């Protein structure tokens, strides 16, 4: 009944996009954890212009949530109220330049690294070790294996909540550890990354080393969501978690990875609530054991299964 009421309330007010859209669209299967409820309304805009026009015509009272590859994301079991926008095929182009490249927000980080390697551009190899897409990488200043977005970002184009398209320099975003200051409600649509000419063989070899290291140390073939907690200054999150005796800790089918303690995994039938409860249990144990507070790196969105806020 509630879903039907929402649909009736919104049908006459929502702009009509050129891309694909649906009410009560399941989201869980699209996440790396394979958990979570539905979006009240899910939009996959066709291109930047489609996105900008939709946002410009959208009531400012409606909440908007942006998701990308959903690799570092828990969608709660009650779903996501309002508008969920997922950037996909129309935002995945990659254009090579002599000293860098321009990529859409939906381009996968590994794909960007591979394009750069094929073009003999060095400096972007670290992206091959980051799951997810460029938009999310910019939004959280993602990093791994000695590099992070702040090292290579020249500029980013963002569609504002009012539909206005603007270009920002890396300095405008005040990039810091796992954080970027984006305009409120802004959607990253493409960015330019700087690189430099290099030896394709050496670039490929470095990427192979990163791949080997990831496969050896991380549960990359499990239903996981990447690094769960940020590293506190001067510490490694996984070491604190291990010290607190949380390696292998379970709540239902949610488990702390025995291979890498800073990864949560869904063993098959875990719910979003199980994963979030497990993460909070780990935080509590680490705080009690070490006095150090862990902060979530995984983004958690939506509402619990019971009731709607």
Contact 77, 305 (CB under 8 A): yes
Q: Which residues pair with 67 in a beta bridge?
A: 86
SS3 state of residue 134: helix
Cα separation, 164 vs 167, in Å, equals 10
Q: Which of 178, 214, 230, 247 is catalytic?
A: 178
Integer distance in angstroms from the first to the last C-alpha of the chain?
Answer: 16
Contact 119, 131 (CB under 8 A): no
Residue matched to tokens 């192979």: 208
**Residue 190: other Cβ atoms inside 10 A:** 25
Q: How many residues are recorded in the chain?
A: 309
Query: Which backbone phi and psi does 116 adopt, to 5 degrees?
Result: -65, -45
In the residue annotation, 227 being an active-site residue is answered as yes
In the residue annotation, 297 being an active-site residue is answered as yes
Cα separation, 255 vs 122, in Å, equals 37
Contact 226, 298 (CB under 8 A): yes
In the residue annotation, 271 being an active-site residue is answered as no
> Which residues are CB-neighbours of 44 under 8 A, at least 6 positions away?
19, 20, 21, 85, 86, 87, 88
Cα separation, 189 vs 58, in Å, equals 18
Q: Which of 128, 133, 150, 227 is catalytic?
A: 227
Closest C-alpha to 132, from 227, 273, 19: 227
| Catalytic residue set | 178, 227, 297
């Amino acid at each position: 009944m509630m879903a039907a009421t929402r649909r009736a309330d919104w049908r006459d007010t929502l702009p009509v996009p050129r891309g694909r859209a649906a009410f009560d669209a399941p989201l869980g299967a699209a996440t790396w954890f394979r958990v979570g409820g539905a979006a009240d309304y899910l939009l996959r805009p066709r291109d930047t212009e489609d996105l900008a026009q939709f946002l410009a015509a959208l009531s400012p009272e409606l909440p908007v949530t942006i998701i990308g590859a959903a690799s570092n994301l828990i969608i709660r079991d009650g779903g996501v109220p309002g508008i969920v926008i997922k950037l996909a095929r129309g935002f995945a182009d990659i254009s090579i330049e002599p000293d860098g490249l321009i990529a859409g927000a939906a381009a996968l980080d590994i794909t960007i690294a591979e394009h750069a390697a094929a073009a003999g551009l060095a400096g972007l190899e670290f992206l091959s070790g980051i799951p997810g897409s460029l938009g999310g990488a910019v939004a959280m200043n993602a990093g791994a294996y000695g590099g992070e977005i702040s090292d290579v970002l020249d500029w980013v184009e963002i569609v504002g909540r009012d539909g206005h398209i603007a270009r920002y320099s890396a300095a405008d975003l005040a990039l810091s550890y796992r954080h970027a200051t984006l305009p409120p409600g802004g959607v990253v649509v493409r960015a330019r990354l700087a690189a430099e000419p290099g030896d394709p063989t050496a670039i490929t070899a470095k990427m192979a080393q990163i791949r080997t290291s990831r496969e050896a140390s991380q549960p990359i073939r499990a239903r996981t969501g990447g690094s769960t907690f940020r590293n506190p200054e001067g510490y490694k999150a996984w070491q604190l978690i291990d010290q607190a005796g949380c390696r292998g800790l379970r709540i239902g089918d949610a488990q702390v990875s025995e291979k890498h303690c800073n990864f949560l995994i869904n063993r098959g039938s875990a719910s979003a609530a199980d994963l979030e409860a497990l993460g909070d249990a780990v935080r509590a144990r680490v705080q009690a054991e070490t006095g150090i507070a862990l902060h979530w790196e995984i983004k958690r969105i939506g509402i619990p299964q019971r009731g709607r806020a």
